[in-house]
Chain A
Amino acid sequence: MKRISGSLIGLLALGFMHVAAVKAEGSAPQPPRLSNGLALTPPMGWNTWNKFGCAINETVIRQAADTMVSSGMKDAGYEYIVIDDCWQSGRDAKGQIVADPERFPAGMKALGDYIHSRGLKFGIYSDAGKLTCGKRPGSLGHEYQDARTYASWGVDYLKYDWCSTYSQDAKSTYETMSDALRASGRPIVFSICEWGLSKPWLWGNTIGNLWRTTDDIYDHWQGRHSYEHSVMDILDLQVGLESYAGPGHWNDPDMLEVGNGKMTIEEYKSHFSLWAVLAAPLMAGNDLATMTPDIKAILTNKEVIAIDQDPLGVQASRAAKHGDYEAWARPLKGGGRAVVLLNRSKASHPITVTWDDLHLPSSLSLKVRDLWTHKDLSGAKGSFSAEVPSHGVVMVRLD
């Protein structure tokens, strides 16, 4: 019987190969994929890259974890401490990935334990190619082994980059690590960092929990610098992607530059407000240990964070654009709206959003709450207007 079923399978396999050859495809259709059930609101945390680049070690990470708690960031909802590139040194004789013993003498398991002991979660970084962007060993061909190692270290979050991938197909490459993470038995948030090259919003839904939509952000208000995008540049690239975001699967306009020094406080407030209405992952990228009260006030604005974390999980659309004056609106659970009035110009200017822009009946009276001054404004009917500073926002919640 066994032999018969064996030949039957063989015969079926031949049949498949035949069909495959005819259709010029590689394989039979796969059953529908399910998501991993994680990140039902956009992940919040801190990542080493924007501030420290490759200059990381276990002291830097422990300090960040300590400050995440002492600064009130943890209370505000930040959870993941993510080590970006440059923690790896090589592989051992069995192919296991090894942390750089000079930078991480206590090892990754100890570091994960430390982070967990602070009530935080532990994230790590790898790459879908042979080498990471910093030329450390990538995970290609080692996916299951690496996922198992991460799980044994207590990893809760993996950022997975796209350097040295050459002709690799992005979807199946990320799918392989996605499968490997699930096979590890540990719930691990999967952050797809493919720079938007092959439109991950079209296929990332059940493979990862967030996907980068562009190349790297840099600490700048507008323009583009080689492969790097400014805040305004990335914002514009979100238009059209709104419908792909939702609980468990988010567009990722990259990590925050708030507090890294090349933009004004007004601009950082805009950056943070816009990321919040976009339902973006809020991954701080500054030096938490030395941040100023101004910066802390931005990163820990709980009313803005509540918009980002709204359980409906709808990403804002640009509801109106009149030259440099824009209104971004995000539907909230319960029927309200978060609205960001954005002034890209070099002078203060009044900006109005109408209820038509928000797809609301113009006769409707709404309560208005300013999420930066933390004050209830007078109610509005038909439209809402405010004076918006240069490169600034007014962010309100309408209920």
Chain B
Amino acid sequence: MKRFVLALFMLVFGLTFMASFASAEAAPPRPPRQSNGLALTPPMGWNSWNKFACNINESVIRAAADAMVSSGMKDAGYQYVVIDDCWHGERDINGDIQADPKRFPSGIKALADYIHGKGLKFGIYSDAGKKTCAGRPGSRGFEYQDARQYAAWGVDYLKYDWCSTGSQDAKSSYETMSDALRASGRPIVFSLCEWGQSKPWLWGETIGNLWRMSGDIYDGWESRDGRENGMTNILDMQVGIESYAGPGHWNDPDMLEVGNGGMTFEEYKSHFSLWAVLAAPLIAGNDLAHMSKETKSILTNKEVIAVDQDALGIQASRIAKNGDDEVWVKPLKGGGRAIVLFNRSKETRRIGVTWEALGYPASLGLSVRNLWDHKNLSRTKGSFAADVPPHGVVMIRVEA
């Protein structure tokens, strides 16, 4: 009987195989993949890279966790403390990845426990290739073993980079780690850092929870000195991929540069407001222990954060662009809208939006709340306009 079943199985398999050969594919279609159920709103936290790059150790990470709580960031919704590249030591004789013993003498488990003890969550970094971008051991060929190790350490979030991947196929590479994380038995948010090269928005939805759609951000207003991904350049790349974002699967325009010094206060406000309407992951990238009041006031603006975290999970579209004047609109749960009037020019501009452009009847009276002044403006019908400072925004929320 067993042999018969086996023979039958081989027959069926052979037939499927034949079908796949005919279509020049390597395998039959698979059952639809389910998402992991995590990150139903965009993840919020802090990551070591933008400020510290490779200069990290357990003191830096603990200080960030401490400051996350003491600064009010945690109360504002920030949750994940993510160690980016350069935490790794070598693999041990069993192939298990170890932390750099000089930088992390207490070990990663102790660090995770510390972070969890603060009521925060713990994130870590690896790479889909043989080596990370900074030349540490990547996870290629070790995916399940690494996922098991991360779970044993108490990891809640994995950022997974794309250096030294050679000719690897992105989708299947990320899928392998996605499967490995799920097999680990621990819920781990999976951040795809593939730089958008193979359009991860087309395949990432059930593989990861967020995917980078560009190369690394740098702390500047726009492209310069051969560096492509200034804040506004990444913003422009969002147009057309809005529909791929939603609860559990987000476009990731990269981490925040707010507070790192390369932009003005007004520009950082724009950066933060725009990331919020984009339903972007809000991963701070500055030195939390030494941030100014201004920086803190941006990062902890709860009304702006509430827009980012809106349960509907719709990414803003640019509904109007007249030269340097732009209007970005994000529909909110309950029928309201978050609106960013954005002025890219070097002088103050008056920028307006009509109810028609927002998809409302012109006769509808709406309440208008300014999310930076924290003030209710007068109830309005038909349209709204405001003076917007150079490189700045006016961000409002309108509701019936």
B144 touches A172 (CB 8 A): no
- Residues of A at the B interface (CB closer than 8 Å) are 3, 6-7, 9-11, 13-14, 16-18, 20-22, 24, 26-28, 30, 53-55, 94-95, 129-130, 133-135, 140-145, 148, 162-169, 171-173, 175-177, 179-180, 197, 215, 226-227
6 further interface pairs, Cβ-Cβ under 8 Å (given A10-B53, A27-B166, A179-B130): A13-B85, A14-B216, A20-B195, A135-B13, A165-B26, A180-B141
In this complex, which of A141, A162, A180 has the most chain B Cβ atoms within 10 angstroms of its Cβ? A141
Complex interface bits, B225-238 against A, C-beta within 8 A gives 1, otherwise 0: 01110000000000
Top 4 A-B pairs, shortest CB-CB distance: A10-B53, A141-B143, A143-B141, A6-B54
Q: How far is the CA of A18 from the CA of B129 in the complex (A)?
A: 17
Query: Is residue B263 within 8 Å, beta carbon to beta carbon, of the partner chain?
Result: no
Nearest CB on A from B291, distance (A): 21
Q: How far is the CA of A23 from the CA of B166 in the complex (A)?
A: 13
Which partner residue on chain B sits nearest A9 by CB separation?
B134
Which partner residue on chain B sits nearest A180 by CB separation?
B141
- Residues of B with C-beta under 8 A to A7: 53-55
A169, A226, A227: the one within 8 Å of B167 (CB): A169
- Residues of B with C-beta under 8 A to A95: 144-145, 148
Q: How far is the CA of A165 from the CA of B26 in the complex (A)?
A: 6
Interface CB pairs A-B, < 8 A, 11: A7-B55, A13-B133, A16-B133, A27-B163, A27-B165, A28-B164, A144-B141, A148-B94, A163-B27, A166-B26, A172-B166
A21, A22, A54, A226: the one within 8 Å of B10 (CB): A54
Nearest CB on A from B29, distance (A): 9
Q: How far is the CA of A18 from the CA of B94 in the complex (A)?
A: 35
A-B pair number, CB within 8 angstroms: 163
Q: A145-B145, A148-B95 are in contact. Are A26 and B129 (CB under 8 A)?
A: yes
Query: Is residue B351 within 8 Å, beta carbon to beta carbon, of the partner chain?
Result: no
Q: How far is the CA of A123 from the CA of B214 in the complex (A)?
A: 45
Q: How far is the CA of A216 from the CA of B140 in the complex (A)?
A: 29
Q: A141-B176, A148-B95, A172-B166 are in contact. Are A167 and B171 (CB under 8 A)?
A: yes
- Residues of B at the A interface (CB closer than 8 Å) are 3, 6, 9-10, 13-15, 17-18, 21, 24, 26-27, 30, 53-55, 85-86, 94-95, 129-130, 133-135, 140-145, 148, 162-172, 176-177, 179-180, 195, 197, 214-216, 226-228
B144 touches A10 (CB 8 A): no
B167 touches A172 (CB 8 A): yes
Which partner residue on chain A sits nearest B197 by CB separation?
A24
- Residues of A with C-beta under 8 A to B140: 176
Q: How far is the CA of A213 from the CA of B196 in the complex (A)?
A: 34
A141 touches B216 (CB 8 A): no
Nearest CB on B from A97, distance (A): 11
If over half of B's interface residues share one DSSP class (helix, strand or loop), that class is named, otherwise mixed; here it is: loop
A3, A26, A27, A55: the one within 8 Å of B55 (CB): A3
- Residues of A with C-beta under 8 A to B135: 9, 13
- Residues of A with C-beta under 8 A to B227: 18
Nearest CB on A from B101, distance (A): 13
Nearest CB on A from B24, distance (A): 8
B180 touches A141 (CB 8 A): yes
Nearest CB on B from A366, distance (A): 44
Nearest CB on B from A255, distance (A): 17
Q: How far is the CA of A226 from the CA of B169 in the complex (A)?
A: 28
- Residues of A with C-beta under 8 A to B228: 18, 21-22
A168 touches B172 (CB 8 A): yes
- Residues of A with C-beta under 8 A to B141: 141-144, 176-177, 179-180
Q: How far is the CA of A140 from the CA of B18 in the complex (A)?
A: 23
Q: A55-B3, A143-B141, A226-B14 are in contact. Are A17 and B133 (CB under 8 A)?
A: yes
- Residues of B with C-beta under 8 A to A165: 26-27, 172
- Residues of A with C-beta under 8 A to B168: 26, 169, 172-173
Q: How far is the CA of A373 from the CA of B195 in the complex (A)?
A: 65
- Residues of A with C-beta under 8 A to B226: 18
Q: How far is the CA of A228 from the CA of B321 in the complex (A)?
A: 59
Q: How far is the CA of A80 from the CA of B127 in the complex (A)?
A: 37
